[in-house]
């Protein structure tokens, strides 16, 4: 059990590329922290530096208060679960799990006892004498976890441990990981590229992009109060809608109509170098069928009418897709997110809008529909810096705040 | 590609196999048959000996010359194999895992050594070994054998090491192993099939070598079997040594067969246990 502190940790490769840039992070004892980001964002490199598998170019890494930059992985007392599981194929499950204990030169009796214990926790007891080749993906994954927990290390590092499992098993194993971590209370750093995993598992989530930390916080905070365009677009599924917004005398002209702005946002747009164009972000659940809400609520938002493209009924609610005319929002962050999602080359005309409406809404494909959206929940981003202009002291306050 | 095993395909393949086996084995069996023939029937041209005799075998084991050569051969080949495989494993491991300056050069040079015509080295080696006092000694043969076996060992082994997922080594390090422990307890067992394959190849190379053995030895002290066979003459100059030579040839084939059979089982079991990939 220990805390892990990264103090301006950077990683530069000999070919001159910087994989990780000045990462500051304090992971408290027993905390479950997720490093998340698109591929190539430096999350795995960061994890490998904590593990000791990669050298730290500059900065300091402390585990339990001690500087460990120059210590070999074996002297850091941390365990790691790999994406490929990395089980030793020549050893049985029991030998795999006993391996770290045998290296630590524990006596046979203790090793046996500890392996049995760990196997019981992970329900591996009947599989102990099998070879990894004879296990299913999920079982191998559990053995990999067993090998990590068996020697009670100071911290667990997990490098996309669930990404090789099929979707159903992944959801199941997610709860196993979560329960195990709570039960053991061991500091855990978990790397994933899957934002759902990040949201559901972690106490805190670290979002990385291009080797730099974008935002650190509990999942809900990242969701509600994204600091910039990248975080807003990365967290959430379906992701936030982004629309182009032009600043014109006191309001914003968007494809959904003219959006009024409050004093606080206006002050930021007064300066000489203030952006004339913004990106408006709004999450799918902040839309609603205009026919279903009372006048009081209506007043807090705006209405627009658009033809319905597609309706996906989820039972509890409906995902309704609209196409709205007007300029597409464009920013480097959005392109990167689209590329990561593999949708970079998917460009229709106008902007596509995803909304989540009540299941009661009688919305039908092909017909126009009046839809309301909540002005208090919208975010405004500066396209050049990506900064969230509606954020005030870390809280997003919508467009109308005074 | 689908592998069809219709009866016709089976027959065709079976026939092909038989042809290959017969082609390869007839000369060997012929020698074996000659070794059991008496001097009188040696040249009768019959495949099956009319009169069976073990005299030829008695002859070769009676001569001190042959037994000494056998001991030399076994000793030299085993020592050279051991050293070449150990050194080769270390070099191959470094080549497959590390990026160090001059890596390409090293691989290139070792390939060069393998391609170098051995005949052209014989005279210089002879001179050098005479100067150094290595001529006609075991090390005098072991050293050149290692030199020429190493490129082979490095090539075969680095191919095997490259197949082993690097994550296993990282995992071993995280589990508390030193670099050495990770190699000995995780990598080497997985590379065992490669180690055995290499050992077989190197052993056969050393065992069969004639060129170095004939130039770098002069007496029974270090003469190996392939050379000793050359010096086989009968008891007198009127005696035909063919039968004895054939018997000796059969005898020296046996260690190789044993060696291959012994390690072949390890190769198969090694391959199946290495079949897991994360």
Summarised one tens digit per residue, pLDDT across range A6-34 is 999 999 998 889 999 999 999 999 999 99
Burial class of residue A251, CB neighbours in 10 A (0-12, 13-18, 19+): middle
In the block, residue with structure tokens 């080497």: B188
Separation of alpha carbons A291 and A297, rounded Å: 12
CA nearest B170 in A: which residue? Answer: A53
Q: Which pLDDT value is given to residue A130?
A: 92
- Please indicate whether residue A68 or residue B156 has the higher confidence score (pLDDT): A68
pLDDT recorded at residue B278: 37
Select the residue of A84, A90, A151 nearest B167 (Cβ to Cβ): A84
pLDDT single digits (tens) A110-158: 999 999 999 998 999 999 999 888 888 889 999 999 999 998 899 999 9
Best residue of B101, B165, B173, B174 to probe chain A, by most A CBs closer than 10 Å: B174
**How does pLDDT run across A205-221, given as a tens digit for each residue?**
999 999 999 999 999 99
CA atoms B171, B173, B175, B178: torsion sign: positive
Phi and psi, residue A154, nearest 5°: -70, -30
Answer with the residue of higher pLDDT: A104 or B46.
A104
pLDDT for B158:
87
Facing B176 at nearest CB: one of A85, A88, A103:
A103
Q: Does A73 touch chain B (CB under 8 A)?
A: yes
Range B128-156 average pLDDT: 91
Contact status, residue A188 vs residue A32, Cβ threshold 8 Å: yes
The nearest CA of chain B is from the CA of A301 a distance in Å of: 52
On the question of pLDDT at B276 being above 70, the answer is no
Contact check, Cβ <8 Å, A100/B186: no
Q: In which element (H, E) is residue A259 found? A: strand A257-260
Strand partners, A368: A307
The answer to whether residue B1 scores a pLDDT higher than 60 is no
* CA closest to A97 among chain B residues: B175
Q: Mind listing the pLDDT tens digit for each residue in A221-251?
A: 999 999 999 999 999 888 899 999 998 877 8
Distance between CA atoms of B85 and B92, rounded to whole angstroms? 10
ipTM surpasses cut 0.85: no
Cβ of residue A105 closer than 8 Å to a chain B Cβ: no
Using a CB-CB cut-off of 8 Å, the residues of chain A touching B171 are 80, 82, 86-88, 147
The pLDDT-based confidence of B234 (bands split at 50, 70, 90) is: low
Chain position carrying tokens 């390409």: B104
What percentage of residues in chain A have a pLDDT greater than 70?
97
| DSSP β-ladder status, A32-36 and A187-192 | parallel
Does residue B166 carry a pLDDT above 90? no
Shortest distance between the Cα of B97 and any Cα of chain A, in A, equals 14
**Maximal C-alpha separation, chain B:** 73
Alpha carbon distance B266, B263 (integer Å): 5
Q: Which two tokens stand for residue A272?
A: 């000489």
Average pLDDT of chain A is 89
pLDDT value for B274: 41
Identify any residues that bridge with A63 across adjacent strands, giving them in sequence order. A4, A66
What are the pLDDT digits (tens) for A279-305?
999 999 999 999 998 888 888 889 999
Query: Would you say residue A402 has pLDDT above 50?
Result: yes
Q: What does the DSSP assignment read for A14-47?
A: TTS-EEEEEEEEEE-TT-EEEEE-STTSSHHHHH
* Lookup: tokens for B242: 């063919």
Residue whose structure tokens are 């095997």: B160
Residues 114-133 of A with CB under 8 A from B: 131-133
- Considering only the beta carbons, identify the residue of B167, B181, B274 that sits closest to A86: B167
Q: For residue A80, what is the nearest residue in chain B, using CA coordinates? A: B174
């Amino acid at each position: 059990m220990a805390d892990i502190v990264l103090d301006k940790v950077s990683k530069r490769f000999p070919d001159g590329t910087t994989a990780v840039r000045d990462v500051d992070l304090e992971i408290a004892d027993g905390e479950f922290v997720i490093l998340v980001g698109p591929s190539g964002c430096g999350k795995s490199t960061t994890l490998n530096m904590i593990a000791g598998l990669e050298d730290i170019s500059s900065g300091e890494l402390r585990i339990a208060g001690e500087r460990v930059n120059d210590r070999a992985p074996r002297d850091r007392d941390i365990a790691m679960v790999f994406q490929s599981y990395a089980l030793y194929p020549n050893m049985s499950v029991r030998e795999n799990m006993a391996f770290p204990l045998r290296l630590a030169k524990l006596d046979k009796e203790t090793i046996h006892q500890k392996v049995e214990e760990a196997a019981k926790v992970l329900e591996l007891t009947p599989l102990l004498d099998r070879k990894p080749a004879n296990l299913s993906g999920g079982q191998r994954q559990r053995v990999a976890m067993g090998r990590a927990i068996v020697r009670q290390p100071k911290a667990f590092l997990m490098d996309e441990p669930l990404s090789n499992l099929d979707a159903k098993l992944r959801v199941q194993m997610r709860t196993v990981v979560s329960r195990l971590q709570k039960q053991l209370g061991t500091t855990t750093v978990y790397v994933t590229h899957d934002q759902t995993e990040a949201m559901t598992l972690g106490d805190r989530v670290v979002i990385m992009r291009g080797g730099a930390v974008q935002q650190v916080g509990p999942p809900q905070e990242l969701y509600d109060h994204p600091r910039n365009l990248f975080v807003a677009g990365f967290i959430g599924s379906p992701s936030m809608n982004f629309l182009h917004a032009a600043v014109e005398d006191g309001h914003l002209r968007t494809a959904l109509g003219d959006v009024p702005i409050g004093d606080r946002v206006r002050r930021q747009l007064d300066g000489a170098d203030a952006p004339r164009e913004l990106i408006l972000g709004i999450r799918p659940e902040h839309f609603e069928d205009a026919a279903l809400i009372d006048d009081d609520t209506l007043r807090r938002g705006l209405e627009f009418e658009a033809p319905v493209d597609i309706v996906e009924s989820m039972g509890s609610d409906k995902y309704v897709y609209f196409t709205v005319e007007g300029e597409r929002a464009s920013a480097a962050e959005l392109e990167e997110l689209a590329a990561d999602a593999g949708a970079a080359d998917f460009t229709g005309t106008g902007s596509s809008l995803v909304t989540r409406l009540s299941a009661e809404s009688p919305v039908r494909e092909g017909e126009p529909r009046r839809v309301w959206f909540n002005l208090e929940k919208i975010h405004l981003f500066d396209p050049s810096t990506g900064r969230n202009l509606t954020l005030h002291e870390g809280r997003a306050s919508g467009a109308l705040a005074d | 590609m689908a592998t069809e095993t219709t009866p016709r395909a089976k027959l065709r393949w079976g026939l092909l196999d038989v042809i290959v086996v017969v082609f390869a084995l007839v000369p060997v069996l012929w020698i074996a048959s000659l070794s059991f023939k008496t001097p009188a029937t040696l040249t009768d041209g019959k495949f099956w000996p009319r009169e069976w005799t073990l005299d030829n075998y008695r002859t070769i084991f009676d001569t001190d010359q042959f037994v000494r050569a056998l001991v030399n051969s076994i000793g030299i080949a085993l020592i050279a194999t051991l050293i070449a495989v150990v050194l080769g494993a270390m070099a191959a491991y470094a080549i497959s895992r590390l990026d160090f300056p001059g890596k390409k050069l090293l691989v290139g040079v070792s390939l060069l050594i393998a391609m170098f015509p051995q005949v052209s080295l014989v005279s210089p080696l002879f001179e050098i070994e005479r100067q150094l006092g290595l001529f006609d000694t075991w090390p005098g043969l072991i050293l050149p054998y290692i030199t020429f076996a190493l490129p082979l060992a490095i090539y075969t082994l680095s191919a095997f090491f490259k197949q082993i997922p690097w994550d296993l080594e990282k995992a071993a390090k995280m589990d508390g192993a030193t670099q050495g422990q990770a190699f000995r307890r995780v990598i080497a067992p997985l590379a065992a099939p490669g180690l055995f394959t290499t050992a077989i190849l190197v052993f056969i190379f050393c065992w069969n070598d004639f060129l170095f053995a004939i130039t770098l030895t002069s007496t029974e002290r270090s003469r190996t079997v392939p050379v000793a066979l050359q010096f086989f003459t009968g008891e007198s100059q009127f005696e035909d040594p063919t039968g004895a030579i054939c018997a000796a040839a059969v005898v020296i084939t046996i260690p190789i067969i044993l060696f291959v059979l012994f390690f072949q089982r390890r190769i198969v079991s090694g391959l199946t246990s290495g079949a897991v990939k994360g």
